[in-house]
Amino acid sequence: MQPMNRSHPKSPGGWLTLALAVAYAAVLAAVLWSSDPFRLAGSAQGALRQWFRAYVEPVAHLLAFMPLGWLMAVGRWPLRRGAVLGALLAYAVGSEAVQALVPQRSVQWEDALQNVAGLALGACLAAAARQIAYGSAPRCDGSTHIRPE
């Protein structure tokens, strides 16, 4: 069994991916935990709200969590991948649970399922992109299998 493919904590790639994921998660939390996320976007009653409800709302949580799944899959994290996965799953489910404390918001477990599915879909898309670009597929132990030519 090969050691996990993690970058050294001082590696810019590992910390950059971590910083991007934390920044995105913070923006996502601000939107998810706001009583009126459209006001944050400057469109409390405008066209953005109507467009969102018509086209995006049914899959909004799925789409919102895909970038975190992508970053989890492509990142050379300075942490164990299992710890990253556990933290993101807790965030995906916990972010929905926290909405019970926000006025005008409610907990909808279908959204929590979409959050987790978005993580998985983002990770799968990243793995597929890696397969197409490099001809390698990530394995469960963190190593990479190179296809014979």
Per-residue tens of pLDDT for the chain, all 149 residues: 444 444 444 455 677 888 898 899 999 998 888 887 777 766 666 777 777 778 888 898 999 999 999 988 887 776 777 888 899 999 999 999 998 888 888 899 999 999 999 999 999 998 888 888 877 655 555 555 545 44
Asked, for residue 113, whether it belongs to a domain, the answer is yes
Domain count, the chain: 1
Asked, for residue 2, whether it belongs to a domain, the answer is no
Asked, for residue 7, whether it belongs to a domain, the answer is no
Asked, for residue 45, whether it belongs to a domain, the answer is yes
Asked, for residue 19, whether it belongs to a domain, the answer is yes
Angle at 30 between CA 29 and CA 33, to 5 degrees: 75
| Domain ranges, residue 82 | 12-146
Asked, for residue 92, whether it belongs to a domain, the answer is yes
Smallest Cα–Cα separation from 115: which of 88, 135, 86, 139? 88
Are 127 and 73 a contacting pair, CB within 8 Å? yes
Distance CA 61, CA 2 (A): 36
Q: Concatenate the DSSP letters of all residues of 21-89 into one string.
A: HHHHHHHHHHHHT-S-HHHHTT-SSSHHHHHIIIIIGGGHHHHHHHHHHHHHHH---SS-HHHHHHHHH
Asked, for residue 114, whether it belongs to a domain, the answer is yes
Residue type, 97: A
